[in-house]
Structure 1
Amino acid sequence: MIIYLVMAVDFPQWAYKAVDKIRRGYIWKGCIDVKGGHCLVAWDMVCRPLELGGLAISNLRNLGWALRVRWL
């Protein structure tokens, strides 16, 4: 559902951080709140493609930008 919102609206920086915090918590611990000690790998590394050693989780900022550019 967040993909449709990102595609239609340019999110502010704090919204991207809030959504990424929830996604990190779900991946590393299975709950919403997670501290730095539970994160096993940097989030930038997780967002990389599988070929480059990441988990292929999409970066919302880049994905939203790419989806809006498609409309042009």
Structure 2
Amino acid sequence: RYLNKTLQVQGVVTQVTQNQEGGTIVNIDGNNIMSTVYITLRAKEVPPATGSTVSIKGICTGFLSDVILIDAVIVK
């Protein structure tokens, strides 16, 4: 239902890391204790601070207990 669709999510940033290609990965708390939203930002996006509340839009590439978004941008 959500696969390959553009989704916008909002939440508190729990972690900001880099993947093996040097891309920025942002983790946002999901709606329950068992889920997290994993977001890969576009290269030119400035990463948000851990603990901040953000809205981010990206393409959904996975949705089980966790949501995975790629090619994401921070919504102002």
For Structure 1 versus Structure 2, the TM-score category normalised by the shorter chain is under 0.3
TM-score by length of structure 1 reads 0.22
The higher-RCO structure (CA 8 Å, 6+ apart) is 2
TM-score by length of structure 2 reads 0.21
Which structure: greater strand fraction? 2
Which structure: greater helix fraction? 1
